[in-house]
Structure 1
Amino acid sequence: MQALIRPMLFAALGLHALVLFVPFPKEPQKPPENKESPVKITQLPTTKSPAQNKTLKAAIAKPNKPTLPKINRATPNPVIQKSPVQPKAAEAPSPAKSQTLSKATDNMATSFADFPQYQPSTPDCFEKGLGENCRIATANLAAIATFYQSAPKAKGFTVTPAEESAVTKIFSVTSKSGETRYLSLFSDEPTTVILLSSEKITDLASLKGSVNPPADYVELLANVLPEGDRSDSPANNANPEQFDQPQMFYNIVNEAELQQGTIPDLRPGIDTSPKLAIGQAPAVFYSATLEPELKGIFQEVVKQGQYGGGDLYRLKKGGTTIYLNLIPVKGQEGTIVVTWLKDPTQS
């Protein structure tokens, strides 16, 4: 082993000596740099005339695309989807307005809806709010009486003479359902007045003097007063003891009967029993509750003065004039509502 190490050592030394003494090529020398300042070269812009541009664009022709024949395709009909029809809810009928029935006349019942009317004639005689129930014709009394003795019979009505005078003819008229009305004919030269009513009216003067409060006014009282319609319900009727001056509103017989609870008759001209509005004094009740509505119903709303210890208002609509009397309740805060069909200060 030692015999191999020594020759290998000498071989390694010889190899290193050979590498050290082998000559290497010299690095080539760089040429000397030019110390002169560099020259800056600026390229001048070249512009082409518009004519050259157009010529150039024309020279480059775009390849033509092949034209495909137009194909007419059938357009399918659009499908419209109908939404399912929703059944309409039945409309609730609006509550019927309370109607004013005159003591002399009322609205025609259904059985009198086809009662014949003499023509030519004008409804709502004397502007009393009687509508079709009261008409004025230019023909004389005899001609109109002849018409009503035959025309109603053709429609199933039974006409029977009731009273007759030189200026008045009154008939009892019965419908097929058995309802009875009175047909009154009054000579009022140069016209004739025709009245169909539930009660017998025997003279023209009482008809001309009759007054009906407008239906809107009656409905107003029904809305602002409990059971405030024209019915004589004791729930909201005023009693004579609640007035400071009951003699201004009632025909007082004697004090003893009044103390026993006897309710005397109302004075003529009052439309139904006076009504109570407990809790508000007359001035407050009028301004807060009645005044805005009254001015929407009547053309004229005028404070005329006082009567019976309370304010009196004149209400006018067309040819109809009524009077509203607001009386303080005796012994408690509240208002008694009295409707007059004539001016109480003139009676």
Structure 2
Amino acid sequence: MPKAVRLPIARTAQSQPIIPAIAKPLPLERVQAVVADPTPITSSPTPAPTETTAPTDTEALAPTATNPLEDFPHFPGAKAGCLDIPSCFQTGNPLAKVAAYFEKELPAKQYEQRLEIDETDRKVYQFSRAGLTQYLSLIEIEGTGTVYVLADAPRTLDELKKAVEVPVELGNVLAQLVPETGAAGINGEDFADSINATPKDFTEPERFYESLGGVDAEGFEITPTPNSEIYGDLKVVRGQTPEQILVSTITPTLQGNGFTVSANSSGEYGGGLLYQIQKGKFTGYLNLVPTKDGTGTIVTVWTSSPM
């Protein structure tokens, strides 16, 4: 029996073997409400001043600041739960029809999207909105129709069959850690453009990266490659120590999204403490590491213990 693969938010440099945050499925009746063709609303050329219009179902499902995927345009009639993954959606329609639907509806919902992989039985789109980037993988299964999932990197059918989901709320929590423009460091420094960590931010970068990057023989920049067991981006939160961000932001936000956060650390790694986080079948590790210059905290989430 194959070992379960932990799903490891989005990184465009390469596909990772760990399956990540897949969009939290809406109940089927809400999925159908969101994707149903809107009913045209007609009004008199001179409406009465007191006349009001009740919000439609789609308006009621407008995206919130905490979940940019709340109004994701699911395919009409798609059913959740395929391949034993709650947020895997299945339809009996062919791949071409499903792809045409998303190519029209994603821009209509203000998502930026582009086709990344175009194969006979699989198409993958990168899309983003409100600071969250995800991949929509459409996979045609002979005799069944098409399944689709949202994840932090392109997915294959084999990966989905082995998947252990990382709750999508975890990605939303990390997205909220991005500092506002002009955020100041602990000592008052201005870090307007510092959002994601680089190897230079770490005291021990080799413990977090498979490749530290650099410049090749022809002078082209090589992008650093984070460890494949790291979930999402390595976020830098300026102006807060690990203890401050754990107490003021991360713990209450995770607990508010149904996670259990260990009260005591599970040890130390890379110069920062580890805290176990759990929700459902998922167990991960929160690694809070002070930046090398002491101006903030690097937030790292491991899908398995790095120790």
Q: What is the TM-score with the length of structure 2 in the denominator?
A: 0.51
Match of 1:123 in 2: 81
Partner of 2:44: none
Consecutive unaligned residues of structure 2, counting only runs of 5 or more, are 1-47, 102-118, 125-135, 182-191
Instruction: Return 5+ residue gaps in structure 1 as ranges.
Output: 1-83, 102-106, 136-143, 164-169, 174-179, 187-191
8 Å CA contact 1:239–1:263 kept in 2: the answer is no
Q: 1:113 to 1:296 in 2, by over 3 A?
A: same
Paired amino acid for 2:138:
Y
Name 1:290's counterpart in structure 2: 250
Pairing 1:225–2:178 present: yes
Q: After TM superposition, list the pairs within 5 Å mapping 1:69-88 onto structure 2.
A: 86=50
Q: Deviations over 1:70-128 (max 9, x none)?
A: xxxxxxxxxxxxxx985569989765345478xxxxx9964x522555xxxx616545x
| Residue in structure 1 matched with residue 268 of structure 2 by the alignment | 306
State the match for 1:196 in structure 2.
Answer: 148
Amino acid at match of 1:223: Q
Instruction: Indicate which of 94, 97, 114 corresponds to 2:76.
Output: 114
Equivalent residues, number: 212
Two-structure CA RMSD over aligned residues (Å): 4.9
Residue identity opposite 1:323 in structure 2: Y
CA distance in 2, matches of 1:223, 1:149: 37
Deviation at 1:238, TM superposition (A): 1.2
CA displacement 1:16-55 (0-9 Å, x = unmatched): xxxxxxxxxxxxxxxxxxxxxxxxxxxxxxxxxxxxxxxx
Q: Give 1:184 deviation, angstroms.
A: 4.5
Quick one: distance in 1 between partners of 2:89 and 2:281?
15
Highest CA radius of gyration, 1 or 2? 1
Name the counterpart of 1:315.
277
Change (3 A) 1:244 1:124: farther
Query: Which is bigger in relative contact order (C-alpha 8 A, separation at least 6)?
Result: 2
2:199 and 2:212 in contact (8 A); partners too: no
The answer on 1:237 being equivalent to 2:191 is no
SS at match of 1:114: coil
The answer to whether 1:270 aligns with 2:224 is: no
Match of residue 329 from structure 1: 291
Structure with the bigger percentage of strand: 2
How much does 1:306 deviate? Answer: 2.2
- Alpha carbons of structure 1 residues 253 and 281: separation in structure 2 relative to 1, 3 Å: closer
C-alpha distance in 2 between matches for 1:281 and 1:307: 16
- 1:214 equivalent in alignment to 2:168: yes
Deviation, structure 1 residue 134? 4.1
CA, structure 1 residues 193+212, in 2 after alignment: closer, same or farther (shift >3 Å)?
farther
DSSP 3-state at the match of 1:324: strand
In the alignment, residue 279 of structure 1 is paired with which amino acid? G
CA contact (8 A) 2:212 2:225 kept: no
User: C-alpha separation between the residues in 1 aligned to 2:167 and 2:237?
Assistant: 20
Deviation track 1:195-242 (CA, whole Å, cap 9, x = no partner) reads: 324787444345423543423x333333343269xxxx9531112111
**CA shift for structure 1 position 304:** 2.6
Contact 2:93 2:145 in 1 (8 A): no
Normalising to structure 1: TM-score of the pair? 0.46
CA distance 1:90–1:210, shift in 2 (3 Å): same
- Aligned equivalents of 2:123 and 2:290: distance in 1? 46
How far residue 326 of structure 1 moved from its aligned partner, in angstroms, is 0.8
The structure 2 residue matched to 1:252, chosen from 202, 211, 233, is 211
Mapping for residues 22-41 of structure 1, pairs under 5 Å:
none
The 1:124–1:295 alpha-carbon spacing in structure 2 relative to 1, beyond 3 Å, is farther
Taking the aligned partners of 1:113 and 1:294, their CA distance within structure 2 comes to: 30
For residues 169-205 of structure 1, give each alpha carbon's deviation from its aligned partner in whole angstroms, at most 9, with x where no partner exists.
Answer: x5669xxxxxx9632549xxxxx99732478744434
* Structure 1 residue 251, shift from structure 2 partner: 1.9
Q: Between the two proteins, what is the percent identity of the paired residues?
A: 25
Shift of residue 296, structure 1, vs aligned partner: 1.9
Higher helix share: 1
Distance verdict in 2 for CA 1:328–1:253, change over 3 Å: closer
Shift of residue 247 of structure 1? 0.5
